[in-house]
Amino acid sequence: MYKSFEIKNFKCFDHLKLDNLARVNLIAGKNSVGKSALLEALYLHCDGHNPEILSSLKNRRRPLSPDLKQDITVSLSRSYFLNFDTYATIELIGTEDGDGVRSVRLRLDRNPPQGLKGIPIELVAQVPGKDEQRFHAYFDSRRRVLPNPPAPLVPAEFRGAREPIDVNGDSKRFGMLVKGDKLKGGQVSEALKSVELRLERVELLPDEGTYLMHGHIRGISKPVPLPEMGDGILRVAGFVIIMGHCENGALLLDEIENGLHYSILEDVWKTVAEAARQFNVQVFATTHSYECIEAAHRAFRGEHADEFHLFRLERVKGKIRAFDYEPDVLEAAIETGLEVR
Amino acid sequence: MADAHAKRTAIDRPCVVTVEGKTDRKFFTWMAIKLGLDHYIQVWPYDGNKQLKTKLAALATTSGFAQVTSLGIVMDADDHPDRAYQRICGALHSANLSKSREEPIQVDDGPRIQVLVLPSLDKQGALETVCLESVQNDPLMPCIEKFSNCVGKEWTEQLKRKEDESELLIARLDKMRVHAFLATRYDNPEFRLGEAAEADIWPFEHEAFMGIKAFLTQLCGEIK
């Protein structure tokens, strides 16, 4: 788990440091203060040695043509650097539980290999106790010409704010988790009761040539495919399933409240907290919603207060700063009607 | 649950004056308008002086506060002006808004700080005490004084019987005098000190308000 995370020269961040990271971290702030960019920086750092993530991140922001998915140009790469300054070095530094300080540096590769496609950025990974390692992603006719990077150091999943829900993918993951005895169908249905009280059980059933999660609903004789039950159900199911999938890692959720009615948010946070504990996942979520912040505060109040932390990003004198809310300060802010978004 | 649809307070002016409650907010907002400083001053009620440190820390993390250049803290002296001053200084220090626990000293990158204890640092009372001073020549004030003296004697006896010295007698009597004074003019029991300010009842030009005017003017001094 990250204890602190520091960003230099990445996108809108000159220098940002988040201390006091908890198991569940909520990032608030106005538009264009870097909430999503912060998740992107974390995603890059979690993997630790794969520059290809840069193209997948780019594709989340704006769908790229199939060619560009492997070949982001120098011009597209510029947008990762603060003020498009490609002479700067991007630095991402994480302090992790027990593992010390790990850094990832990114710089523009000014001499990319001739005749190859790829991402003109060199990634330099520094893991405590080891020599620096350099990684590139260049391709020849869609075949990687350099060895594949090792597995991510911190298994991470990123759910973007505008990404469609991957029902088939989540169903497949659900099946794998149930088969591996990491998740019980009843556990997901318990989590989904905040959205659909009548839900008794979730199971994977064949559906139109594939396998899909279905819900057994009290009063309805046949199981109902989960997508027929609405986006809220799918979103919450996805949170639990994806945490099972990135056990001992990190879950990055952009605009967590999307598709969820305010009245269920406290229960959703409790579900997220429980799954995060069970699978030892650290959660980083962003929000624009006051209800979402207040619901999180209520969900974690009391014995779980130290498992939740709110950060608010704000542009001050041209630079993004993080404001850190201790639980009692957040309580006072909510009680006295202060703006925390 | 707080009302999610209620307007949340973000800071959007360079000077912030924090006051004890909603009544004080109305009064200080009126003062700022009369002084032509309302474009510079935002008045925020911290809602009682308990947990002031946490409330100031919450204010300091609020959207827009990082742009604030001056912060004024106002508190009633009640029966102990020195205690009120020390409470503010301690809270400012704990909220990382002052370098010292004993006196308000601006921190690096923080706003200038000013403290106002009402009616003053050497007098017991509250904002009500200042307002009463401004209407002391009103022809009905002697009647209110007689009523107040009578009530005051009875309250003092009650406190002696309870052996309770923590009661805030001076400030409480002044609050009652203000209610009585306003009751001589308006039959609406909801009409309190703050509403009286909004209705221009208090004589703005009176010298009783000099200290408050100076406080607000100095707070905006470098910005205007």
**Contact (Cβ atoms closer than 8 angstroms) between residue A43 and residue A57:** yes
Question: B64 vs A341: CB contact, 8 Å cut-off?
Answer: no
More reliable by pLDDT, B193 or A231 = B193
Find the CB nearest A294 among B4, B9, B67: B4
Q: Which of A317, A335, A338, A341 best probes binding to B when mutated, by most B CB atoms within 10 angstroms?
A: A338
pLDDT greater than 80 at residue A75: no
pLDDT greater than 80 at residue A147: no
Question: In the structure, what pLDDT confidence band is assigned to residue A69 with cuts at 50, 70 and 90?
Answer: low
Q: What are the E-state strand segments in B15-134?
A: 15-19, 41-45, 70-76, 112-118
Site of tokens 């509250």: B126
Residues within 8 A of A (CB atoms), B 33-52 only: 44-47, 51
Q: What's chain B's average pLDDT?
A: 90
For the residues of A56-72, what is the DSSP string, one character each? HHHHHHSPPPHHHHH--
The residues near B58 (Cβ < 8 Å, ≥ 6 apart) are A325, A329, A330, A332, A333, A336, A338
Give the distance from CA A119 to its chain's centroid. Answer: 22
Of A11-25, A66-80, A270-284, the range with the lowest mean pLDDT is: A66-80
More reliable by pLDDT, A99 or A29 = A29
B6 at the A interface (CB within 8 A)?
A: yes
More reliable by pLDDT, B92 or A57 = B92
Chain B residue with the nearest C-alpha to that of A262: B4
Name the minimum distance, in Å, from the CA of B115 to any CA of chain A. Answer: 21
Name the minimum distance, in Å, from the CA of A339 to any CA of chain B. Answer: 5
Strands A199-207 and B15-19: unpaired
Q: What pLDDT is stored for residue A312 in this prediction? A: 97
**Contact (Cβ atoms closer than 8 angstroms) between residue B191 and residue B184:** no
Residue-wise burial string across A228-267, b where 16 or more C-beta atoms lie within 10 A, e elsewhere: ebeebbbbbbbbbbbbbbbeebbbbbbbbbbebeeebbbb
Q: What is the 3-state secondary structure (H, E, C) of B106-144?
A: ECCCCCEEEEEEECECCECECHHHHHHHHCCCCCCHHHH
Q: What pLDDT is stored for residue B166 in this prediction? A: 56
- Under DSSP, the state recorded for B168 is -
**Residues B68, A147: Cα–Cα separation, whole Å:** 53
Name the minimum distance, in Å, from the CA of B84 to any CA of chain A. Answer: 20
A306 at the B interface (CB within 8 A)?
A: no
The residues near B178 (Cβ < 8 Å, ≥ 6 apart) are B128, B131, B132, B192, B193, B196
pLDDT mean over B166-177: 81
**Residues A278, A271: Cα–Cα separation, whole Å:** 11
Site of tokens 């890059």: A44
pLDDT mean over A189-203: 82
**Residues A52, A121: Cα–Cα separation, whole Å:** 9
Q: What pLDDT is stored for residue A266 in this prediction? A: 93
Q: Using a pLDDT cut of 70, give the percent of chain B over it.
A: 93
A318 at the B interface (CB within 8 A)?
A: no
A315 at the B interface (CB within 8 A)?
A: no
Name the minimum distance, in Å, from the CA of B10 to any CA of chain A. Answer: 5
pLDDT greater than 70 at residue A57: yes
**Contact (Cβ atoms closer than 8 angstroms) between residue B84 and residue B127:** no
**Residues B119, B79: Cα–Cα separation, whole Å:** 11
Q: What pLDDT is stored for residue A38 in this prediction? A: 98
pLDDT tens digit sequence for B79-130: 899 999 999 999 999 999 999 999 999 999 899 999 999 999 999 999 999 9
Find the CB nearest A338 among B4, B51, B58: B58
Question: A291 vs B4: CB contact, 8 Å cut-off?
Answer: yes
Question: In the structure, what pLDDT confidence band is assigned to residue B6 with cuts at 50, 70 and 90?
Answer: low
Of A17-31, B13-27, B158-172, the range with the lowest mean pLDDT is: B158-172
Name the minimum distance, in Å, from the CA of A304 to any CA of chain B. Answer: 19
Of A227-236, A243-252, B53-62, B64-73, the range with the lowest mean pLDDT is: A227-236
Q: What pLDDT is stored for residue B160 in this prediction? A: 80
pLDDT mean over A131-143: 81
B108 at the A interface (CB within 8 A)?
A: no
Q: What is the dihedral of CA B22, B212, B91, A26, to 10 degrees?
A: 50
Find the CB nearest B61 among A262, A329, A341: A329
Find the CB nearest B58 among A290, A298, A329: A329
Chain B partners within 8 Å of A290 (Cβ)? 4, 8
Chain B partners within 8 Å of A262 (Cβ)? 4
A262 at the B interface (CB within 8 A)?
A: yes
Q: What pLDDT is stored for residue A68 in this prediction? A: 58
pLDDT mean over A279-296: 96
Q: What pLDDT is stored for residue A314 in this prediction? A: 96
Three-class SS state of B90? helix
Chain B partners within 8 Å of A333 (Cβ)? 58, 61-62
A261 at the B interface (CB within 8 A)?
A: no
Q: What pLDDT is stored for residue A142 in this prediction? A: 64
Q: What pLDDT is stored for residue A185 in this prediction? A: 64
Q: What are phi and psi of A323, to 5 degrees?
A: -105, 130
Question: In the structure, what pLDDT confidence band is assigned to residue A72 with cuts at 50, 70 and 90?
Answer: low
**Residue type (1 letter), A30:** K
Chain A partners within 8 Å of B58 (Cβ)? 325, 329-330, 332-333, 336, 338
Q: What pLDDT is stored for residue B4 in this prediction? A: 54
Highest mean pLDDT: which of A39-53, A192-206, A280-294?
Answer: A280-294
pLDDT greater than 90 at residue A10: yes
Chain A partners within 8 Å of B66 (Cβ)? 314, 316, 321, 323
Chain B partners within 8 Å of A330 (Cβ)? 58
> Please, where are the H alpha helices in A48-115?
53-61, 66-70, 74-78
pLDDT mean over B160-184: 82
**Percent of chain A that is helix, strand, coil (3-state, to 5):** 35, 30, 35
Question: In the structure, what pLDDT confidence band is assigned to residue B161 with cuts at 50, 70 and 90?
Answer: confident
Question: In the structure, what pLDDT confidence band is assigned to residue B167 with cuts at 50, 70 and 90?
Answer: low
Q: What's chain A's average pLDDT?
A: 89
Of A87-96, A140-149, B211-220, the range with the lowest mean pLDDT is: A140-149
B96 at the A interface (CB within 8 A)?
A: no
What's the half-sphere exposure (Cβ side, CA atoms, 13 Å) at B98? 24
Name the minimum distance, in Å, from the CA of B93 to any CA of chain A. Answer: 15
B4 at the A interface (CB within 8 A)?
A: yes
pLDDT greater than 70 at residue A66: no
pLDDT tens digit sequence for B137-152: 999 999 999 999 999 8
